[in-house]
Amino acid sequence: MKIICIGRNYAAHIRELNNAIPDEPVIFIKPDSAVLRNNAPFFIPDFTTDVHHEVELIVKICKTGKSIPQQFAHSYYQEIGLGIDFTARDLQNKLKEKGLPWEKAKGFDHSAVIGKFISKEGLDLNHLDFSLQKNGEVVQSGNTEQMIHNIDAIIAHVSQYFMLKIGDLIFTGTPEGVGAVKPGDELRGFIGDRNMFRCAVK
């Protein structure tokens, strides 16, 4: 199982980090050791003092495919979920400055919070509200209509490079409002008003 993540997919988030709007999706991968499930706590690793939350809609792949045409992409997923792409922002900025890959800042152990999954049936995936609360206050909220590349476009693009397999997960990018977490924080993610995960920061 692999986790494919899309960077810079929401214009307001691109602006808050002073990045350029990409003409095709920015892709990176987290290893399976990054998974943090079942509302388990997140321990801030020693190598960073600036871990940011990035709440993201997650797509779970249900069929193997390569070079999937966009018009057929919808048949490769039945469920969506919500999670956090934890990012060691200080480390990422150092790596970016040197033009090096982001893996240490993005793919470290337990950096991928994964909540429960729900059927996509009956959901309007192009107009879906989601949000992240930190200590009871909304810190990030987005709607999938703000995505630069929608789910089907992401699947079409990603699958040109990486064969998608059953159980693979795609993190579809974060809206604005990313910020640092500290020990004692509690994060809760929502699709609409449905609670998808909680995560205590230690």
Q: Which residues bind Zn ion (CB under 5 A)?
A: 54, 85, 174
> Quick check: 191 and 82 in contact, CB under 8 A?
yes
Smallest separation (angstroms) from Zn ion to the CB of 191: 17
Q: At closest approach, how far in Å is the CB of 69 from Zn ion?
A: 26
Closest residue by beta carbon to Zn ion: 85
Length of the chain: 202
CB of 174 to Zn ion, least distance (A): 5
Min separation Cβ 173 and Zn ion, Å: 6
CA–CA separation, 6 and 44 (whole Å)? 23
Cβ nearer to Zn ion, comparing 65 with 187: 187
* In contact, 4 and 160? CB cutoff 8 Å: no
- CA distance to 143, 191, 195, per residue, from 118 (Å): 17, 10, 11
Nearer to Zn ion, 44 or 65 (CB): 44
In the complex with Zn ion, which residue's Cβ is closer, 29 or 78? 29
Structure tokens at 193: 């008003």
For Zn ion, the closer of residues 65 and 142 by Cβ is 142
DSSP annotation of 8 reads S
